[in-house]
Amino acid sequence: DFGLTAQAACPSAVSLAWSAQFLAAGCGDGAVRIYEHSKDFLLAKELRDTNQMINSMVLFGQILAAGGDDSKIRIYDVSQ
């Protein structure tokens, strides 16, 4: 059991990789924040190409699909 303190306007959606290596948080400000698991989940990167809320996500291995209020689906490789 652990807690992860998210930044402001976050999260509006979360997804945990099956391997538990990555946790993705979709945010109200349009950012997708990727946390990587070592001993704790640490912020590894922030992806952003919209300022619209991210409200749905699925993380499969290292591939993330995210949908937002702008009706677009974005595909990210979180390992890069």
In the chain, where the domains are located: 13-77
Q: Nearest 5°: CA angle at 17, between 6 and 38?
A: 65
* Nearest residue to 76 (alpha-carbon basis) of 18, 20, 25, 10: 25
Q: Spell out the long-range contacts of 73-76 with Cβ–Cβ below 8 A and sequence spacing 24 or more.
A: 74/32, 74/49, 74/50, 76/32, 76/47
Percent of the chain at pLDDT exceeding 90 = 14
Q: What integer pLDDT is reported at residue 29 of this predicted model?
A: 87
Summarize pLDDT for 21-60 with one digit per residue, the tens: 788 888 888 888 888 877 677 788 888 888 888 999 998 8
Q: Nearest 5°: CA angle at 78, between 75 and 80?
A: 110
